[in-house]
Structure 1
Amino acid sequence: MSKGNRIKHTFRLPPALSRQLADFAGRKRVSQASVVEAAIASFLSPDGSERLEAAFSRRLDRISRQIDKLDYHVEVGNEAFALYLRRWLEVTPALGAGASAAARADAEKRFSHLVEALARRMETGKHLSDELIRREPQHDEAENGQ
């Protein structure tokens, strides 16, 4: 603002705040009135708080989408494991006491193969959830008679 276009205000400040104002103005080598003017303008300006709120809102939206995606992948993993376990229990007979040592050795070997297959699949970047997403539109079209 120009100096000729100003209105005088009188107000009181607590001693501690007055000292802070004087110290700040002295360090910045500006008048106390200009510090008060800038502080009031900043406080009354909606732009700063609205920009900050918009930035937080965008960040929260992005985090929310990431959590939704993570939730979907965890759910797919849980369902896939449940289906696998149910099928495994259906087709795998219980073993007798005499076959336990051989069965354990075979189980270790089969588990090792599973871990290797899982590692290969994770390295390729192919994921079950991606396959499900690609198959969903075809599944929906079949249900709709298309």
Structure 2
Amino acid sequence: MTTKQKLLQICNERVDKRMNDYKEEINLIKESIASNDKGSSEDDDAGHGKLLNDLEKNMSYLNDAKKTKEYLSNIKTNVESKEAMLGSIVKTNMMSFYISTSIGKIELDDAVFYAISVNSPIGQLLINKPVNTSFEFNQNKYVITEII
């Protein structure tokens, strides 16, 4: 398995975990709402409203995670490019990035990669840039040394 394939797999696993966590939370909230409905009084209305609000938030998070999962399915691990694109590993003089989704730090095979979104501020600076391009981010000067 290539490094790109491993990174994509890790991203998918993390999104799957996120989705499962949201589904579990949604089920717990639904159970709480159902049990509150059985012995409802006026005092419970505020708590009921909070539960409904939490349910709505978690359903929105789940929907976002599903969109992220769908987005990850667009990444092709066998495509090579001279410029940074979705699915690229971009090595710089300071750190290595995996352009995919905002997952954050991934430690893999004694290396550290930062999974970032194309739409993130640093993703915007990297996308479509070739090797030897330099840019500044958070007062640090980066130079792209390799694109895989």
Q: Give the structure, 1 or 2, with the largest relative contact order (CA under 8 Å, sep 6 or more).
A: 2
Structure holding more strand per residue? 2
The normalised TM-score by structure 2 is 0.30
Structure holding more helix per residue? 1
Q: Larger Rg: 1 or 2? A: 1
